[in-house]
Structure 1
Amino acid sequence: MPINAVDQNELRALLLSRLAKLRAPAGVHGTVPHGTDRGVRVFGYCVQERERIARSRMEHPAVVVVLSGTKEVWRGDVAQTFAAGVPFVIPAGMDFDLVNNPDPTSGRYESICITVDEALRQTLRSSLRPVQVAGPIPDRLDVDLTPALVEAYGHAASALTGLGVAVAATLARYRVLEILLLLAEMPVAGMLTAVGRREQVEAIICADPGHAWQVGEIAAELGIGASTLRRQLDRAGTSFREVLLSVRMTTAGALLGSSGYSVMQAAQAVGYASRSHFSRHVQAVHGKTPRQLKAAVWDPPSTDAPPPPPPPICHGWIVRFGEADATGMRTASWAQCGGSEQPGAAYAAEIAKLAVSTRPACKFDERSPFWSFRTCFSPPPES
């Protein structure tokens, strides 16, 4: 049953009372960190004069609650005003003009902000289905309160202020995650867990880093034009060439750290036909030549022939969660790319799902994430 306006006002008053312990002491102005020693990025902000911040752009999404005064969020000529006790979300990577208005009675503007950093977003993605993809922001940035959400804020405030650091370091992050999981059922969810264009491009390239990718191919996979993709990557502070090189060099570093790959095999796996060209890029990125990276790997002597390397479709996944063991190498399952016990396998499954989501014709099976991935991206057998 939806909560009516009267209930919203009551819940806002209750929320403000639960967050009172996070208010800054009188006379304190500016940024007041609350979670830096507890593994979360939560901070308060206080000013005593009306303040306008032009063209503000957040690196990470943020969930804000005004404790005193009001906040105006302008996008172009359209503004939304948020009163005390109203949670709202500011998405990342977009330009906004912000205006902080002090309360006329107290003469003070104050707010509490939760920064949804990459670690939190990754945890949310692993908990939510489906993975959200960046898109247009909703018409409203504010959040309708529920009793559960108010209680979650109260729990977080207690973890950030009322416990010793040794306990709160773990508990505070769970309490903040509790808030975000409750927000995940609301229209603002996409802004909290959204995967940006760079991450989408990385996921596609990671599927086959040896392919001679062109920006037009990637754009077609994403259903947009090449010029649009270039502009979006530029706004994210990068370029197609930089993302392609980053994925290839990260993959190359992992393959060169594996005893199963020679320098030439690693070069070919990430799309280099020229060994000298490959060596120059590896040294520029990793600070060592491919031979020096290989020299750090102990290759035990063996009279048996080495197992075959994973198929090309798997090179990128080795970067995410480690090289497969010999047993996995001999199977015809996703274990060719790793094993369920390998570190980071859950994250790799999310990346696999993201990659499959870029191809509308493909279907993703939660029970077999890598089978879904390989079925979607492996070339059809020759007739």
Structure 2
Amino acid sequence: MTDDPFAKLTRYAARDNRPSGGVPQAPTLGSFIARDRERIADLEVSATGFIILLDGRKEISDADGSHHYRKGDALLLPAGWRGTVVNEPDPTSGFYRSLILLFPAEMVRRLLRAHGDALIGDGRRARDYRVTPTPGLSDAVLHAAEGLSRTPPLSPSIVEHRCMEVLLALLESGVWWLGPVAPNGLVEAVRALVRSQPDQAWTAERVASALNLSNATLRRRLAEEDSSVRRIMTEERVAHARHLLETEGRTVQEAAEACGYASRSHFARRVRSATGRTPSALQRGG
């Protein structure tokens, strides 16, 4: 590998092409180019974003402190991250350049459902969100960038396949925080974890292990925030069930299974208790 494993990506940052606001529904490739120092305060990341610095320097600041990056570095900010970002042009070239690859929440969720067992009990923290480049990751990103920039465009299914390869390479590189993040307290971290894999058989022990906490610490800190693993799990599963039934038109059985309920009757009781309506009524829009 060269000193800059992502050097070949420079061709995709020929102009400033920042992603528009809102939550992306498909993988998106954007480039940030600036001649002047930029400071973006109180930024909230709406989608999982893989950022590669091609020129200049970047600083991000959050509740865990300030983290610094330079040309050739890469970082992964998960959906829900909040903080301040500073982009500094390189004093020699006079430019700040970076690429960002955004992933829709559903794509990340599907990856974690298929390959997320490695997250449980991993024991590592995101720390500064830095990603260590590997040959496989560099190749996957280059392949995805080429696909997203192709004219005429590739089919959405092929583009998604290439971007899913990037997510898998990130996961295999130890980037467990593709899903869970704790920007605003432990309750939000547990919510993000359950939301990423609502069909998993979450227990306090598994959640604590995924977040690198002892079971006692997890329970105590959630109690301090007036919550619990059971309450969060029920709320997130019911919210996911409503989306599946009302928006995607799934059957009650499909929704129950996708939300981790082996018993359809148990699922129905949970939904009715939380919403005042049966799953069938939600499905009909009644």
Matched, 1:228 2:228: no
Q: Tell me which amino acid in the other structure corresponds to 1:192.
A: L
1:278-317, CA deviations, whole angstroms, 9 ceiling, x for partnerless residues?
A: xxxxxxxx9xxxxxxxxxxxxxxxxxxxxxxxxxxxxxxx
Give, in angstroms, the shift of residue 230 of structure 1. 5.4
Q: Equivalent residues in 2 for 1:1-383 (5 A)?
A: 7=1, 10=2, 12=4, 14-17=5-8, 19-25=9-15, 29=16, 31=18, 39-76=26-63, 78-130=65-117, 132=119, 137-165=125-153, 167-189=154-176, 191-194=177-180, 197-198=190-191, 200=194, 223-224=219-220, 225-229=222-226, 243=235, 247=239, 250=242, 321-323=250-252, 338=253, 348=258, 351-352=259-260, 370=262
Secondary structure of the residue aligned to 2:87 is: strand
Work out whether residues 191 and 236 of structure 2, in 8 Å CA contact, stay in contact via their aligned partners in 1: no
Distance in 2 (alpha carbons) for counterparts of 1:89 and 1:78: 16
Distance in 1 (alpha carbons) for counterparts of 2:24 and 2:128: 33
> 5+ unaligned residues in a row in structure 1: which ranges?
1-6, 208-219, 233-238, 258-285, 287-318, 324-337, 356-369, 375-383
Distance in 2 (alpha carbons) for counterparts of 1:248 and 1:126: 14
Secondary structure of the residue aligned to 1:113 is: strand
Work out whether residues 116 and 192 of structure 1, in 8 Å CA contact, stay in contact via their aligned partners in 2: no
Q: Name the structure 1 match of 2:205.
A: none
Work out whether residues 88 and 142 of structure 1, in 8 Å CA contact, stay in contact via their aligned partners in 2: yes
Give, in angstroms, the shift of residue 183 of structure 1. 0.8
Give, in angstroms, the shift of residue 198 of structure 1. 3.8
Give, in angstroms, the shift of residue 247 of structure 1. 4.4
4+ long deviations beyond 6 Å:
none
Distance in 1 (alpha carbons) for counterparts of 2:17 and 2:149: 19
Larger Rg: 1
Work out whether residues 143 and 162 of structure 2, in 8 Å CA contact, stay in contact via their aligned partners in 1: yes
Distance in 1 (alpha carbons) for counterparts of 2:119 and 2:131: 18
> 5+ unaligned residues in a row in structure 2: which ranges?
182-188, 203-215, 267-286
Q: Tell me which amino acid in the other structure corresponds to 2:6.
A: L
1:58-107, CA deviations, whole angstroms, 9 ceiling, x for partnerless residues?
A: 12221100111111112357322111221111233233221100111221
Work out whether residues 69 and 101 of structure 1, in 8 Å CA contact, stay in contact via their aligned partners in 2: yes
Give, in angstroms, the shift of residue 231 of structure 1. 11
Q: Name the structure 1 match of 2:283.
A: none
Larger relative contact order (Cα-Cα within 8 Å, sequence gap ≥ 6): 2
Give, in angstroms, the shift of residue 22 of structure 1. 1.0
Secondary structure of the residue aligned to 1:128 is: helix
Q: Tell me which amino acid in the other structure corresponds to 2:51.
A: V
Percent sequence identity is 22
Give, in angstroms, the shift of residue 109 of structure 1. 0.9
1:15-44, CA deviations, whole angstroms, 9 ceiling, x for partnerless residues?
A: 222x1221133xxx46267xx999312211
Secondary structure of the residue aligned to 1:164 is: coil
Give, in angstroms, the shift of residue 137 of structure 1. 4.3
Give, in angstroms, the shift of residue 229 of structure 1. 4.9
Q: Tell me which amino acid in the other structure corresponds to 2:180.
A: A
Secondary structure of the residue aligned to 1:130 is: helix
Work out whether residues 38 and 169 of structure 1, in 8 Å CA contact, stay in contact via their aligned partners in 2: no
Work out whether residues 24 and 47 of structure 2, in 8 Å CA contact, stay in contact via their aligned partners in 1: no
Distance in 2 (alpha carbons) for counterparts of 1:137 and 1:198: 17
Residues 90 and 247 of structure 1, relative CA distance in 2, 3 Å threshold: closer
How many residue pairs get matched? 235
Secondary structure of the residue aligned to 2:242 is: helix
Q: Name the structure 2 match of 1:260.
A: none
Distance in 1 (alpha carbons) for counterparts of 2:239 and 2:19: 37
